[in-house]
Amino acid sequence: MSQDIQLAALVVRDGRLLLLRDAAGTWNLPCGPLPDDADADEAMDAILKVHGVHTPSIAEDFLQTLYLQREGRYTVFNVYAPSGWTGEPVAPNGEELAWFDLTELEGLAMDPQVRNAIYEVLGLKETNDDALLSAVASVVGEAMEQVVTETQHQSAGNGSGTPTGGSSRFASRREAGLDVLGTLNATDGEKAARSMYDMYGPLTDDVLDFALGEVWADDAIDRRTKSLIVVAIIAAQGHAGPLRSHINGALNHGATPEQIVQTLRLVAVYAGFPAALEAWRVMEKVFAGRGIKIGRQQ
């Protein structure tokens, strides 16, 4: 069975996904083939520039590899999620450009495998259920709102107005969340948050106030240990894009390269070698980008 390699990008603005429609009327992500002997990151960067999208560090934006079955061949589908991108997207070669909510994808003329690839890398199961997809945004939003409201009530009951647990040194969950975001990315938290709003829109508020400002900011477990735990969980799940970010975050939180190596060895034992081998390649790329060398295990 033959194969080809395609590079595609999830370009998001205000929570909406950029798609392009070709002359045949089929909608697709900004994408293109990987030329022979070309570097995938550089090729993806070139494709995005043709579409008017400029990203500061495409190598950090790789998300996941999927395999799309075709008759007599399969496509290696490498998906990126450009963060902090600039420019005004354009539709080259006479294509049509538009922005869509996830809930609108089912009604579009798309390759079903591409549509399901989008669902998969965004954490949604493969489905053709319109009702399920239509409910995703509201259900997630309502659930997160309920959790945040409950934790806010807990704080109010304590009379503190601050995050519960061990993060009371911060005046609010937003302040705590920005602090965590800054230490994870070794940058200014406000700057990193602006990039998140470009990618995730209103959902960023839930990430900052609850995931980061409540869970991550609690001091019962130190941030280095939390980073190593998250690296193990994401590696076991096989999500390469977030893994790249969190390996960097673990290093930024003071984890040593050897601790990350040993974390992935535990993944191999408890989650299987295929997951660990995929994660190992991501780790090596992160280490190479930071000038870190790891010796061969004897």
Q: How far is residue 59 from each of residues 41, 50, 136, 139, measured CA to CA in Å?
A: 6, 18, 30, 33
137 and 29: one domain?
Answer: no
20 and 102: one domain?
Answer: yes
Longest dimension (CA), the chain: 65
Instruction: Tell me what pLDDT residue 247 has.
Output: 94
Backbone Cα Rg of the chain: 20
240 and 138: one domain?
Answer: no
CATH of the domain at 66: 3.90.79.10
Give me the DSSP letters along 73-141: EEEEEEEE---S-BS-----TT-EEEEE-GGGGGGS-B-HHHHHHHHHHTTPPP---HHHHHHHHHHHH
Domain boundary, last residue among 128, 148, 163: 128
Tokens coding 201: 């829109």
Q: Answer for the pair 127, 133: CB distance below 8 angstroms, yes or no.
A: yes
Number of domains composing the chain: 3
C-alpha 180/C-alpha 132 separation (Å) is: 33
- Torsion sign across C-alpha atoms 191, 12, 44, 75: positive
Domain of 214, in residue numbers: 130-218
94 and 161: one domain?
Answer: no
188 and 141: one domain?
Answer: yes
Q: What is the pTM for the complete model shown?
A: 0.48
Task: Give, for all 298 residues of the chain, the pLDDT tens digit.
Answer: 456 788 999 998 888 899 999 989 999 999 999 888 788 889 999 999 999 999 988 887 887 777 777 666 778 888 898 888 999 999 988 889 999 988 899 899 999 989 988 888 776 654 444 443 343 344 334 433 444 444 444 444 444 344 444 555 778 888 988 988 888 877 787 887 887 777 667 778 888 888 888 888 888 888 999 999 999 999 988 877 789 889 999 999 999 999 999 999 999 988 888 888 889 989 998 998 889 987 654 4
Give me the DSSP letters along 153-187: HHHHHHT--S-STT-TTSSSHHHHHHHHHHHHHTS
